[in-house]
Amino acid sequence: MFEIIDSFIDGEITDIQCKHCLSATNLGNQYVFVSQASLNQIEILERCYLAQKEKEAYLNSRQEIYEMNRDKVKVARKQYRGQGDYIEDILV
């Protein structure tokens, strides 16, 4: 996600490309806690410890997902090339 947004901020991709690249990565839900009061309300419900093999399997699956998403982003960048506005055009 950060790489895509950085590409938009750096003027490498348009807003349309950025939107479709972010959609292609299927980021899911994200939550932001912006105040100390909200942080104080967080409660850890459960802790889970992984064996080394479980950790390696998880990291391998995350790497596969990362590579698949990277390929989807490449396709979205090409498919929507020339569509939309660059950040410098939006902020004028």
What is the percentage of the chain residues whose pLDDT exceeds 70? 100
Contacts 24+ apart (CB under 8 A), 7-14: 8/87, 9/87, 11/86, 11/87, 11/88, 13/77, 13/86, 14/80, 14/82, 14/83, 14/84, 14/85, 14/86
Any idea which residue has 């850890």 for tokens? 44
How far lies 67's CA from each of 41, 49, 72, 84, in Å?
36, 26, 9, 26
Provide the token pair at 88: 């410098």
- Three-state SS at 42: coil
Please state the rounded mean pLDDT for residues 7-17: 94
Task: State the pTM of this model.
Answer: 0.66
What's the pLDDT band for 31 if we cut at 50, 70, 90? confident
